Chains A and B, each alone.
Chain A
Amino acid sequence: MSVLVFIDQSEGQIKKSSYEAASYAAQTAEKLGTVAEAIVLGTVADDLAALGNYGIKKVHTVADASLNNFDAQVYAKVISQAAEQTGADVVVFSNNTSGKAIAPRLSVRLKAGLVSGAVALPDTSNGFTVKKSVFSGKAFANITVSSAKKIIGLNPNSFNISTTGGTAEVAALSVSVDAAKVEVVSVNKVNGEVPLSEADIVVSGGRGLKGPENWNLVTDLAKLLGAATACSRPVADIHWRPHHEHVGQTGLAIAPNLYIAIGISGAIQHLAGVNRSKVIVVINKDPEAPFFKAADYGIVGDAFEVMPQIIDAVKKLKGVA
């Protein structure tokens, strides 16, 4: 019996959401009176022994270069072999795009109940129940898993990373790796930008900004804060901003530490995607904008007058001339 966590990497670097999943797996293992181990696929440049600092006892690697080409089918088969060899009863993923593609396949292979979108450690006091986000962030459901094996997909930014000190043992795992049926033709990443789902701070703009030419108000602040940028649905629909920036019920649901909404009225569908943010700031000239009801801090004012003041104040705070 053990807890196995899938450590997701991109271009040889471990994703931040994987450290959250590692901490989550370690604390789940502690609750179950067992240890947490990790599985890493493909060639990774990061120091894997350092995963010990997040409570991982052993890191299993399959450094097959063909695994740098992501195919959920191949990944699920390899992870299911790892789960069998390590005797894992619980497998933890980050509920990011890779986790969402692999975990359901693994669920079928291991006959394991899957809870995706978990936001808290499992409650093991009476069975095995995991709290997850439902109704696009408007509520939570406590899901009881009845199968012997369980899979949990942890929502990014929902669980604090905790460091314990320590070094993990790193060992190669002997598994068979199938040829991929999905060929990755090209990867197009926006370099230097923080992925929206993993960002601590998100600066977001709506129709109140009047046009894409004014987006420097959003991007300048985001750059100063090391934040990701986002937008409301109408803004993506009229192509002021790319689709992948759309947060809300039918876009991406995010849970950053700080969400700053500029010129967004806060329709219920938008709130659904952002209401798990820890601190919400709303800047809108309409005092009746529904977003103010969901906000922690607000400024009723014209973004074109307010934002330059805020950008100046952040520059002073950060010591930027």
Chain B
Amino acid sequence: MKILVCISKTPDTTAKIAFADNNTKFATDGVQWIINPYDEWYALVRAIELKEADASTVLHLLNVGGTDSEPIIRKALALGGDEAIRVNTDNADPFYIASQIAAVAKDGGYDLIFTGKETIDYNGSSIGGMVAELLDLPYISHATGFNLEAGKAVVVREIEGGEETDKAALPLVVSCQKGMAEQRIPNMKGIMGARTKPLKVVEPVAAESYTSVASYDLPPAKAGVKLIPADNAAELVRLLHEEAKAI
């Protein structure tokens, strides 16, 4: 079994979201960078669990990003994985990124490709599906559970108002979310070991970019809260009905 986990670098969940250069660039001053939580907590940890269950499993991590991605790649290697590959580019267009992942995966002989369901910065949910199409593989998105049974993948995925259980042969692309696994903290042995694990840097292949960010906007600020006394909570219901017309 050979698994590829795609990891992305995103701002920390508590990062202040502000923009620079006339609202055309994300202001990165003072921002802490993390592994995209969906990639780390669910895709990577589930892949590590599969490797723990079958020691012959080979686990590769893949990041498409610049040299500033290396700290988060080392952190991912501290959690687990045999080696990492970084495709050296700052291009953020989803199709361009998916093309890079597909180029690495094409000759890699991977049985499984895991991604997070989306990144917490662009919220695109695009990469897994694009990679699957580029490689002509089946794709199961929003997975909350993953198991191998007699060489086939049994995947539970979220649907509106419930869940669905799917079965598919490998190779397969899966996007992962909450429920797949539990967040782990790297231990000292992992952190020390990560320093010597191979991190290969490859140059990007030629690919199209179809989208670009023209500008960013922040949502308008709220007017301020209208407080209702706790002993007159029925007044809230009146306001929601008559003023906000929300119920």
Residues of A at under 8 Å CB distance from B?
10, 15, 17, 70-73, 76, 95-98, 100-109, 111-117, 129, 131-147, 153, 181-190, 193-198, 201, 225, 236, 243-244, 246, 249-251, 253, 257-258, 268-269, 272, 275-276, 278-282, 292-302, 305-307, 309-310, 312-314, 317
Contact = CB atoms under 8 A, between A and B. Distances in A.
Contact of B237 (A268, A280, A313): A313
A141 B138 CA distance: 30
Interface stretch (B44-52, B78-86, B124-132, B195-203): B124-132
B158 A97 contact: yes
B211 A143 contact: yes
Interface of B: 11, 13-14, 17, 19, 37-38, 41, 94-95, 98, 117-118, 120-130, 132-134, 137-142, 144, 154, 157-169, 178-179, 208-219, 222-223, 225-231, 233-234, 236-241, 244, 246-247
A142 B22 CA distance: 13
20 contacts: A76-B133, A95-B125, A104-B133, A108-B133, A109-B133, A112-B210, A114-B211, A131-B217, A182-B166, A184-B165, A185-B165, A187-B165, A190-B161, A244-B179, A249-B37, A250-B178, A258-B240, A268-B14, A299-B236, A301-B233
Contacts of A301: 229-231, 233
B98 A104 contact: yes
Nearest to A314: B237
A310 B247 CA distance: 12
A13 to B, nearest CB: 11
Interface of B is mostly: mixed
A266 B62 CA distance: 34
Question: Which of A112, A116, A250 gathers most chain B CB within 10 Å?
Answer: A250
A310 B142 CA distance: 36
Contact of B210 (A114, A182, A196): A114
A305 B233 CA distance: 9
Contact of B13 (A117, A243, A249): A249
Contacts of B94: 104, 107, 114
A62 to B, nearest CB: 19
Contact of A269 (B14, B125, B126, B154): B14
Chain A to chain B: the 8 pairs with minimum beta-carbon distance, closest first: A301-B230, A104-B129, A113-B210, A189-B162, A195-B161, A313-B234, A313-B237, A309-B233
B60 to A, nearest CB: 22
Contacts of A302: 230
Given A282-B225, A313-B234, 12 more contacts: A10-B160, A72-B132, A104-B125, A104-B128, A105-B130, A107-B210, A114-B210, A135-B17, A135-B120, A140-B218, A145-B210, A182-B140
